[in-house]
Amino acid sequence: MPSATPESPRVVLGVTGGVAAYKSAEIVRGLRRAGYFVSPVMTRDALKFLGAATLSALASEPVRTELYGDASTPSPHTYLGQSADLVLIAPATAHVIARLALGLADDLLTATVLATRAPLVICPAMHTEMWEQPSVQANLQTLRSRGALVVGPASGPLANGDEGTGRLEEPERIVEVVSAVLGGYRGPLSGRTVLVSAGGTREALDPVRVVTNRSSGRQGYALAEVAARRGARVILVTTVRRDLAPDLLSRIEVVDVESARDMRDALVGRLVEADVVVMAAAVADFTFDPHPVKWKRADGPVPMIPRPSEDIVASLVERRRPGQVIVGFAAETGDPEVAARAKWRSKGVDLMVGNDVTAEGAGFESPTNEVVIVSGEGAAERLSRRGKAEVAEVILTKVEGLLARGD
């Protein structure tokens, strides 16, 4: 077994209260064999399934269980959080997953998670009925949207002689994922470049006035952030500036544009770099030849002679290379499914996402959305109202499936 030192990559291993806690001993052995310094943290419920002495003997330092430290380490959660290169929770019970999703910090493990900027890997383990609960899946979706990597669960024998999905992933696989994350892997989009557009374009009438739409860019920004948390390099072409999560600034390149023409040029110019294009922007259907000076009230009504703007999605599809995935958006009024199906067929995109911008909780500036996603053979999936980051999660999961089929 390699001799890990405090200078070796440090893995904080959180063990929670489930039958699968006994497998944490083998996980510690695997992490030590891989050369990592392992700092174990056990919850009080975990101690009912596995003695602290076992992991203390196998790990790089003794088990910690209490939020409040001693004279040598008065603040163990900050010590662990700041020194960790990765936090691994295996097994992770439904209860602890819920507490993490809520951002609670009522014991050493949850406080350590809040006190770290290190990657978080969560390995759920529970009975099938618990795993399938919508609340559990929603909590995991929340954690994924914040950048956590969820590994497993597997299917097979469970406690009490039952069988089903909910079994802790095998220790060897967990150690493999830890090594990959420490090597730079951040999710299924690692090594991919995702090109995202956001916001509503602004078409000039004169140097002062513009014609625009109500798009806030919220959905485009959510897609950019979720893609970055899944490991992608993101190029965000946008007409609006919104705050990005500070930890994602190095992974998201922001390109500012204004008009439909600007957006088209930026997207076509960066297309060669992209594995995925997500056209979430609301692009003006018409543009104008702007008057060179400000039009005065005394001059009468501003002459507005519209001409169709270029179809950006068509330009991208025409130039796409094999294997590129393109996602279009259709902002509609009324039932968006008919329009989304028609645009999916006519545009030649892989996915078309439609929404009714007049629906409550699904319009511009709303933090939530309600969409229909049209994909292969015109199949449509409706998503009930949810946060725009959650919508982005579903869209990008479908994108990952398309990329996998093309590899």
Kindly report, residue by residue over 345-403, the tens digit of the pLDDT: 889 999 999 988 888 877 788 889 989 999 877 788 998 888 898 899 999 999 999 99
Q: Based on the fold, state whether residues 119 and 230 are members of the same structural domain.
A: no
Residue 260 forms part of a structural domain: yes
Q: Based on the fold, state whether residues 356 and 301 are members of the same structural domain.
A: yes
Q: Based on the fold, state whether residues 112 and 211 are members of the same structural domain.
A: no
Task: Tell which of 126, 158, 182 closes a domain.
Answer: 182
Other C-beta atoms lying within 10 Å of the C-beta of residue 325: 23
Domain count, the chain: 2
Please give the full DSSP string across 58-88, using - where no structure is assigned.
HSSS--B--SS--SS-S-HHHHHHHH-SEEE
Q: Based on the fold, state whether residues 23 and 95 are members of the same structural domain.
A: yes
Task: Tell which of 139, 161, 182 closes a domain.
Answer: 182
Residue 188 forms part of a structural domain: no
Residues in contact with 68: Cβ distance below 8 Å, sequence separation at least 6, in sequence order: 76
pLDDT of the residue at 407: 54
Angle between helix 218-229 and 388-406 (nearest 10): 50
Q: Based on the fold, state whether residues 289 and 262 are members of the same structural domain.
A: yes
d(CA 391, CA 371): 8
- Residue 86 region, left (φ>0) first, then alpha (ψ -120 to 50), else beta? beta
Q: Based on the fold, state whether residues 251 and 309 are members of the same structural domain.
A: yes
d(CA 82, CA 124): 24
pLDDT of the residue at 2: 55
* Weakly modelled stretches of the chain, pLDDT under 50: none
Residue whose token pair is 């039952």: 162
CATH number for 138: 3.40.50.1950
Strand pairing report for 163-167 and 154-157: antiparallel
Q: Based on the fold, state whether residues 172 and 199 are members of the same structural domain.
A: no
Q: Check 139, 160, 213, 355 and give the catalytic one.
A: 213
Instruction: Locate the DSSP E strands across 228-318.
Output: 233-238, 252-256, 276-279, 286-287, 307-308
Q: Based on the fold, state whether residues 309 and 371 are members of the same structural domain.
A: yes
pLDDT of the residue at 3: 60
Residue 85 forms part of a structural domain: yes
Q: Which two tokens mark 356?
A: 């009714």
* DSSP run (H or E) holding 338: helix 336-347
pLDDT of the residue at 337: 86
Residue 4 forms part of a structural domain: no
CATH number for 199: 3.40.50.10300
What is the sign of the dihedral through the CA atoms of 224, 229, 235 and 240? positive
Q: Based on the fold, state whether residues 174 and 215 are members of the same structural domain.
A: no
d(CA 13, CA 25): 10
User: Which domain covers residue 365, as residue numbers?
Assistant: 193-406
Residue 65 to residues 9, 23, 62, 111, 167, Cα–Cα distance (Å): 21, 18, 10, 12, 25
Residue 5 forms part of a structural domain: no
pLDDT of the residue at 336: 85
Does residue 355 carry a catalytic annotation? Answer: no
Does the model's pTM come out above 0.85? no
